[in-house]
Every structure is written in structure tokens, then in C-alpha cells.
Copies of this chain bind each other. A is one copy, B any other.
Amino acid sequence: MADDDQHPDNETRLLYIQERLDEQDTPALAALFNALETVETTRILESFPQKTRDLLWPLIPTEDIGEVLAGVDEEIRADYVEDLSASDLETIVRGLDAQDVAEVLDVTDDETKSSVYASLDDNIRAQVENLHAYEEDVVGRYMDPETVNVKQGVSLEAVQRYIRIHHLLDDQSQQIMITDKEKRLLGTLTLIDLVKQPQEARVEEYMVDSFTLNDQMRVNNAAVLLRSKELSFVPVCDADGILVGQLNAADVLEITQDNADMTLKHMSGVSDEEEVFTPILRSAKSRGLWLGLNLLTAFLAAFVIGQFEAVLDQIVALAILMPVVASMGGIAGSQTLTVVIRGLALGQLVGDNTRWLYNKELMVGMSNGLVWSLVVGAISYVWFGQALITLVITLAIFVNMSLANLSGVVIPLILKRLKIDPALSGAVILTTVTDVVGFLSFLGLATLIIL
């Protein structure tokens, strides 16, 4: 999101691929995929609708397919894995690390899963089975189970030699784990200290008392913690303090970004899985549910209006001005909602803070309500030239905007207490409240004052 051109390179590459496809220039495309890193191939596959993707898929080098499958969006992965036999899968996952194998097998049925399990190296199989034992949305499912562990008392030099002899440290490692005999985590040693500190020093001299995550923690809670502590690496332990894995920088980035995406999608009624190239039927279905829910609330608003037929029948200007009342309340409320949802995610809203926030939002709602209700009143007077209508709409806008801001605090706090994601249903409930309050105050005041 910015004011200059984004990714000329990515867009140029997609256009290049479209042109080669139009010319049926398969060799050029195969050469491209050969030259690209798997993460780039993955992004390209995610950047086309299914039909185009199906044309590109056979051109991916065989040795890249495993990592590409592990990397693409789950919907796409499921589409391709479905068509693969167990023996194809066995070939594909050979050489992948446990995290990638677990991702690929995630979308297979139990039978295929156990057949592929049987073909894996003992070490990888044990790790994959461990990962699969976790529920889908907990930290354990996202961690790298392969850690480098050393005991206290060894020198940095000895650690370095140990790593070289046993070919330890994979692509993403950033720290060495210091554990006791039971594999309980005592602390960590950064690669930075391993290199920069005197080599005769013992690991405990530079051991850091690392923040750890519990393997059963919800990944969305972990996302917020990781962010607030600005961590890009964290060891994962089970309930007994036994080290079971680690989150590397790439895992942390994935977890925190997925969490941000989810909030954004939930707030506008889009499901977690939907992307631009999700097929028509799937999109229509997942969005349809949300539309149905919204319909209920829209009819609730209509029902409220229906109670005031008498006054609407007499003064048509009211029908004309109704959307202004609803719209100003809706916007004011959703501004508050967005800010409060962030505060909730950061765990900031407790005790006196909550009281302070109610007060703040009421004041903001009333002051903006005052300003804009007077503006709306003035415009309405110029338009319709009727003092009573002007009075009614000015009061209604003021009431609705003040209550909208309060609702923007109350609704997410209640949802949180009910253990419902405030981002998911907050917006639809809030709009219902601002519509109902808006119509009720506007038409109610009109009935009282004008009729």
C-alpha cells in the first residue's frame, strides 16, 4: 500500500509468463522455473487462477515440488496433493525437513499419511508425527522440532567443533540451546556470542535467560506476544519445561503476518483462506454466509424503521435524511472499534484503563458528534428550510455518534469476555447497533417533536 509503483518486478514477471503461455513457449517457462528459488515459484503459482496454474504446474522441476507444495496456500496444496498417489508423495517429501513434510501431509487422508510415514527416515518420521500430534492452531504445529542442544560446562570452541563434526545447524538456526539431562531448557546462546566471545569461555558464561513459548499456546496469542516483545526467535517448551522445538525468524514472521491478515479479513467478513484467486464457487459460498448474517441485522434495522410508518408517511424528508444518520454513526463506531481491537490484542485494556477508555471514547464521540451534528443540521435547514426537521436530525446525529463510540468499546469487550473474536463479529454487531440507534433516535424524536 503506497503511493508509488509496487513490484514492477513481480508484475513484469507475471506479464512475461502470460506472454510465454500465449505463445505456448514451454521451454522458456521451464527455464524460468529452473532458475527461480522455490519461494519465488510458490508466489508465482499463488498469483494465477487455477486454470493458468494447472498449465504451469508440470513445468516445475521435480526436485522443487516438495518445497513448493509445502509453501503454497493450503487450498492450492490440497488441490494438487489430492491427485498424487502415496508413492508419488513418498518421492516428493524425501529430503524435506520435518516442518515441510508435515505441511504437505496435512492435507492427505490418514491412509496415505501412514503409508508415507513408513517411508521416512526414523528421525524425520518421529518429528513429523510429533508435529501432527498438535492441534492445528497451536505453537507446536508451527515450530521447527530440530534444535542444537548442548550441556553446561562445555567451551564455545567445543560447541563449534561439535556442530561441524555432526553437520548441525539448519538454514534458519539463530541460537544454541543449553539443556540439562532431562532436556529441560536452561537458557540459550546466540550464534553471535558463539562467534564473537572468547572461545575458551564456557557456554553458561554467555547463556541468556530466554523467553519461551508453551507448545500448546494458541498461535494467535503467540503472535501478539512475539510482537510486543520484539522477538524474532523463541524456544518452545512443553508444560514440564522440556525443550520441544524453536520458532525461527521465518516462523515468527509467518505467525505474526497471518495474524494481521486474519484480523483484516475478519473485519470485512472474508474467511481466513480466501485469496484473490480462490475459485468462484468457494468465494461465493464463504462470503454468502456472512451476507446472510448481515441480512438479519439489516432487517432488524428495517423493522425499527417500520415502527415509525406514521411519521414517515407524513414527512418524506425524514426518509431522505435517514442514511446520513446511520452512516455517520457507522463510521464513528468503526473507527473506535479498530482502535479498541488493537488495544485488546495487546492486552492493554484492564482495570482503570477500561474506565479511562469509556470516558475517552464518549468525549471523542460527543465532541465530533457536536461538530458534525451542527454541520448536518445547517445543511438540512438550507435544504428543507424546516426548523423542526433540523432540530430532530441535529439531536439524532449527536446521540448516534456519541453512542456509536461507546458501542465501539462495549461490543468488543463483551465479545472478548464471551471468548468470541472481536474482529470477526464486532463490525457486524456494531453496524446493527448504530443503525438501530440511529433510526430509533431520528424517527423517534421526529414522532415526539413533529407529529
Question: Which residues of A are in contact with B by a Cβ distance under 8 Å?
Answer: 1-7, 10-11, 14-15, 18, 39-40, 43, 46-49, 52, 137, 160, 163-164, 167-171, 173-174, 191-192, 194-199, 218, 220-221, 224-225, 227-230, 232-233, 248-250, 252-254, 256-257, 259-270, 274-280, 283-284, 287-288, 290-292, 294-295, 297-299, 301-302, 305-306, 309, 312-313, 316, 318-324, 326-328, 331-332, 334-335, 337-353, 356-357, 360, 363-364, 367-368, 371-372, 375-376, 379, 383, 419-424, 431, 435, 439
Contact = CB atoms under 8 A, between A and B. Distances in A.
Contact of A6 (B268, B306, B345): B345
B419 A4 contact: yes
A268 B14 CA distance: 31
A438 to B, nearest CB: 10
Contact of A421 (B3, B174, B224, B253): B3
A16 B154 CA distance: 41
A229 B267 contact: no
A337 to B, nearest CB: 7
Contacts of A43: 228-229, 346
Contact of A249 (B249, B263, B280, B288): B249
A423 to B, nearest CB: 5
Nearest to A384: B306
A137 B3 CA distance: 11
Specify which of A1, A171, A318, A348 lies most central, judged by the most chain B CB atoms within 10 Å of its CB: A1
Contacts of A422: 1
Nearest to A251: B232
The 8 closest A-B pairs by CB, nearest first: A7-B347, A276-B343, A232-B249, A260-B260, A10-B347, A319-B319, A2-B220, A298-B327
Given A47-B346, A253-B227, A327-B301, A312 B321 contact: no
Specify which of A4, A199, A327 lies most central, judged by the most chain B CB atoms within 10 Å of its CB: A327
A291 B196 contact: no
Instruction: Give the oligomeric copy count.
Output: 2
A250 B316 CA distance: 59
Contacts of A170: 192
Contacts of A18: 350-353
B270 A160 contact: no
A363 B284 CA distance: 8
A388 B297 CA distance: 24
Nearest to A357: B276
Contacts of A337: 268
B14 A348 contact: yes
